[in-house]
A = this chain, B = another copy of it.
Amino acid sequence: MKTKEAIIQKIENGTLVTPKGFQAGGMHTGLRYAKKDLGMLVSLVPAECAAVYTQNHVQAAPLTVTRESLSKEQKLQAIVVNSAIANACTGEKGMKDAYDMRKLTASRLDIPDHFVAVASTGVIGEYLDMEKIKKGIEEVSFARSKKGAEGFEEAILTTDTFTKRSCYELTIDDQKVTIAGAAKGSGMIHPNMATMLAFITTDANVPATVLQQMLKEVTDVTFNQITVDGDTSTNDMVLVMANGEAKHQPIDEHHPDVGLFKEGLRKVCEDLAKQIARDGEGATRLVEVSVQGASSRADARVIAKNIVGSSLVKTAIYGSDANWGRIVGAIGSSEADVNPNEMEVYIGPHLMFKDGLPQSFSEEEVAEYLKQEEIRISVVMHLGNEEGKAWGCDLTYDYVKINASYRT
């Protein structure tokens, strides 16, 4: 019997339109100075849909509109996205603008309003230039092409320095099934979908209720385990569209491959989450923290996230400084069960702390390790059997530079 690893194949050049029945595109409407700023993602047939939204109490207008769309049938056929302006804290006019974006998109595609989701990202508290948005929605071209997918990927970016994508293939009921995603987000990334957008397409046949449950579980171990600066945003969401074009039996709770599909979805989400962390504002390194032997899964996750979110750990990594004491401090500062005398702390392969005591290590070797682009910190708690991971980046001069002058 093949392992899941062997059955789920990564498609290196796959995009949002690799799954059957999807088209995408992006264009420059003038909201941003020169870069693409409006994207459209379309499914040829109505797709089952799942969504996760920011947990910030202040939520932007497009989230309200998207929630309303999904509340009707939990199906979507199109997603329209703009960057530059978040359309958050914009009151009734902002709501009208978001509804207008939805209506314009539905009209162009000749589909019901509630088959359209709306997403925005950018500065809070400014109004959309609806002339530009209208022109964009009417004129943007979309296709099942690499160019179309790349256009969409570019149009959703703000301070991101590269586009983010992932694609995996697997087989269900002898049919090839593809899952793909695109995402944006580099600052304000923390628990709970912070200024992060991710759009996932699949030609699998998955009922919306099953898809929603899977997305929630997968988000908890992927997107909700990345942090750039601890801030959470008003605009974030993850949307999955499953259009069933792969023509296998519906993947409900009883389908033998429900776990396989969920693992594929997790891989796509983890890939995107890691790309977002790597592209944290000003970041020079991706940091992966792995916690094992915790007394609960929640503990493992919170410890991992505390370490990767610590400003002192992040600056030490930027400085290639083997300051493991800050890692221990971050572990202890969580609410999780911790016994300092039991735990082991590793930077890469180097054991730094064990039995409550510093371990001898070569400063040069660890400093050399910390100069790599991917840093791994591992903690073994010796309190149980649960594990968790989190991802983040270093904290650099450029983070300060980017954020001291974002609006100006």
> Using a CB–CB distance below 8 Å, which chain A residues touch chain B?
55-59, 86, 88-91, 123-126, 187-188, 190, 194, 229-234, 309-312, 315-316, 318-319, 321-326, 328-334, 338, 340, 353, 355-358, 395-397, 399-401, 403-408
Contacts and interface: CB of A to CB of B under 8 A. Distances in A.
A86 B325 CA distance: 10
Given A58-B338, A316-B406, A400-B399, A328 B358 contact: no
A231 B329 contact: yes
Nearest to A235: B329
21 contacts: A56-B333, A58-B340, A86-B325, A89-B328, A91-B357, A123-B325, A124-B326, A124-B328, A125-B325, A230-B310, A232-B332, A232-B333, A234-B329, A234-B332, A315-B400, A316-B404, A316-B407, A321-B404, A321-B408, A323-B407, A395-B400
**Majority secondary structure, A binding face:** loop
Contacts of A323: 124, 406-407
B88 A325 contact: yes
Contacts of A88: 325, 328
A396 B408 CA distance: 17
Given A321-B408, A328-B89, A340-B89, A231 B358 contact: no
Contacts of A125: 324-325, 328, 353, 358
A190 B400 CA distance: 20
Given A124-B325, A124-B329, A358-B126, A312 B231 contact: yes
A294 to B, nearest CB: 13
B405 A312 contact: no
B233 A329 contact: yes
A380 to B, nearest CB: 15
A234 B328 contact: yes
- Counting chain B CB atoms within 10 Å of each CB, which of A125, A309, A329, A332 scores highest? A329
Contact of A58 (B328, B355, B403): B328
Contacts of A321: 404-408
A86 B55 CA distance: 38
A356 B89 contact: yes
A299 B353 CA distance: 38
A323 to B, nearest CB: 5
A55 B335 CA distance: 10
Contacts of A326: 124, 231
The 9 closest A-B pairs by CB, nearest first: A124-B325, A319-B404, A58-B332, A315-B403, A57-B332, A232-B333, A229-B311, A57-B338, A56-B332
